[in-house]
Structure 1
C-alpha cells in the first residue's frame, strides 16, 4: 500500500485526506502554477468543492502531502465508472519537487482506486508540460492516446459557408444506436482507445459505452449523420458557464467526441453541432477529436477552428505492480 495517514515514509512524507483547513497551504503553492504561460491555476477556485462535494466520499478522494506539518502537495482521483478512475490536479510545492512526493501521492490515489475495484487509472497532461509527462511516466502511467479540440462557432456567429452541409441528401438523426454502431467500427475509436470526454467530470476522458450514448440522447444530444449509411457521429456531454481570462462569464457546450468518414461528413456533423449550440444560446463550443493528420486537416477543410496544441492521455494498469502497490 502507499503511504497513509498513520505512517510516514522514510523521507518524512505524510499523506492524508485533504481538509478545509489545508486551503491556505494549498493556495500558497498553486496560485502561480501557470504564471510562465500567462494562465492561472483552477485549484484555488474549486478546492472547497473538491473537499465538500456531496458524494466526495465514494466518488472522489483528495489527498495532501505534508512535510514538517506543512502541506506541500495535492492530488485528486475521481471514480468515473466501476473500473475507471481519473487522476487530476497533482501539484507539488516548488521547494519540494524531486523528493518523491509526486510518486507517493499518485500511488495513494492508485491504492484508493484499486481498493474500490478500479483496474485502470488515467490522467491528462498538456503536450507542452514536459515535467508533467515525466512525472506521469515515473509514477507508472503509460501513453494511451492524444486528442485535440475542434472549436465550431455556434449558429449566429459562424461563417455561413462553414455551417452549410453542402449535400441535400444528408440527414442528421438523434439515434444513439446508429451513433454507437458507427463509433464501434470507426478509426476514431481505435486511435482514441475507446475514450471520449466524460459526462461526469470536466477535463476527463472515459470509455464510451452504449449506455453513455443512450443517456446522452435522453439528457443532452446525439448526432448521427446519414447518407446511404451512417457517416459521422457526435454527442453533447454538457453545457455550463465559466469565466474567461478577462473575467467575463461565457457559456460553453462540450461534445464528447466527433468521428466521421470524410470532409463532407465532417462538414455535416459540425453544421449540426453549430445548430445545436445556437439553439442552446452558448457562446463557445469544443469537440474532442483524434489527434491525427486526417482528422485535424478535415476540421480545417470545413473552415472550423481547432486548438493549437494536442493533449495527451496517460493510463496506468492497476492490476500490475506499481511503486505503492502490494
Structure 2
C-alpha cells in the first residue's frame, strides 16, 4: 500500500515524499555517512532494506524534485555496480515505519540532510509513516530517542509523539559459573504462565508501559505478551527466579543473539527482552542466571533492558552488573488522532 501516491505531506512545493527505491541509495548514503562521529548504520542498511520484500516495513524518502541525485562514484562507500538506475530527484531525508504487531508500529531511521533542516521535512516523513501504519491497522506508533539527543526529542514532540517511558541497558558478563551473592533467591522452573502472572502485577511492567524488546526488530520495543513468554520457554530462553519469601521473584527472556564488529573482531551479543524482579535478592539471582545463559550460547557480551529509576539501576549496580551510562527514551503517538496531512 503506497499511501504517498495520493497524499502530499510536504508544504514545500519542491519536496515530494514517496517510498524509497534502490536508486535513492547514493543520495541517502551521501547525507547519512557522517551523522555522528562514530558513523551511521544507514549507508550499510539501506541496500538491505531495498532488497527485502517485507510487507510490514516501509522506507520513505523526502525528495528535492529540482535537484539530481549524486553520481554513485562520487559518494564514499557506494559501489557503482550496486546502483542499476538512479532515482528521479535527490533524496534529502529518510525514515522507516515498521509494523511490530497488528496494532503497534515503530518509527526509526529519521535523518534529514543538514542542508535541508528547518524545512519541516522530518514532519513530512513522519506523517507518511503514520499514515501508512494507520492504513495497515496500527493504532499506536513509538520511537526511541537517546536521552542526550535533545534535538531529536524536540523534533519527536513537534512531529506528534508524546512522552512514553524510559529504560536503561545493563550488561552482566557471560559466565558459566556465575552465582548469586546470597542464597535467598534461586532459579526455579521456567513456567511462562507464572512469569506472565508476575509481569501483569509487576512494578517494572508499570514503569515500562508493558513494553519489552521486540523479538524481530532490533532496537524496537513492543508490548510483551503471554504467547511470547511461552515461545521463549519452549525454546529454553525463559529464566525465572524465586523470591526470598517464596513464589516468583523475577524473570527475563533471551530474545536473540546478534553478531557485531568490535575493532575488526566479530563478537556475539545475547539480548534479553526485559528483566523484572521483586527485590534485590531476586535481582542478584536473575542477573547471575542471565550470565550463565549468555555463556551457554557462547555470547561475548549481553544487553538487558530494565526500567529507568533509582531502584532498578541501584539493584543492578549492587549485583555487580555493568550499567549503561545514560537512559533511552521511548515516545508514543496515538494514531487514532490524525497526525498526517
Q: TM-score range by the shorter chain?
A: over 0.9
1:294 is aligned to 311
Instruction: Kindly provide the CA deviation profile for residues 163-221 of structure 1, in whole angstroms up to 9, marking residues without a partner as x.
Output: 33520662332211111111110000001000000001000000011011111222351
The root-mean-square deviation of aligned C-alpha atoms, in Å, is 1.7
Correspondent of 1:66 among 50, 63, 66: 63
1:7 Cα deviation (Å)? 6.1
Instruction: Kindly provide the CA deviation profile for residues 296-324 of structure 1, in whole angstroms up to 9, marking residues without a partner as x.
Output: 000000011110010000000000131x1
1:239 matched to 2:239: no
CA distance in 1, matches of 2:15, 2:3: 8
1:110 is aligned to 130
- Assess if the C-alpha contact under 8 Å between 2:60 and 2:95 holds in 1: yes
TM-score by length of 1: 0.92
Correspondent of 2:147 among 106, 121, 127: 127
Correspondent of 2:33 among 21, 24, 31: 31
Bigger Cα displacement from structure 2, 163-172 vs 70-79: 163-172
Q: Give 5+ residue unaligned stretches, structure 2.
A: 67-88
Superposed, which structure 2 residues align to 1:1-326 within 5 Å?
Answer: 4-5=4-5, 9-11=10-12, 12-35=14-37, 39-54=38-53, 56=54, 58-67=55-64, 68=66, 69-155=89-175, 163-167=179-183, 170-219=186-235, 221-227=237-243, 228-244=246-262, 246-322=263-339, 324-325=340-341
- Assess if the C-alpha contact under 8 Å between 1:3 and 1:14 holds in 2: no
3-state SS of paired residue (1:240): strand
Runs of 4+ in structure 1 off by over 3 angstroms are 5-10
TM-score by length of 2: 0.88
3-state SS of paired residue (1:297): helix
Instruction: Kindly provide the CA deviation profile for residues 278-301 of structure 1, in whole angstroms up to 9, marking residues without a partner as x.
Output: 111110001000000000000000
- Assess if the C-alpha contact under 8 Å between 2:269 and 2:299 holds in 1: yes
CA distance in 1, matches of 2:236, 2:326: 28
CA distance in 1, matches of 2:186, 2:268: 29
Change in 2 beyond 3 A, CA 1:73/1:222:
same
3-state SS of paired residue (2:4): coil
3-state SS of paired residue (2:217): coil
1:240 Cα deviation (Å)? 1.6
- Assess if the C-alpha contact under 8 Å between 1:3 and 1:15 holds in 2: no
Instruction: Kindly provide the CA deviation profile for residues 51-89 of structure 1, in whole angstroms up to 9, marking residues without a partner as x.
Output: 2223x2x11000011012210000001110000011000
- Assess if the C-alpha contact under 8 Å between 1:239 and 1:253 holds in 2: yes
CA distance in 2, matches of 1:149, 1:238: 15
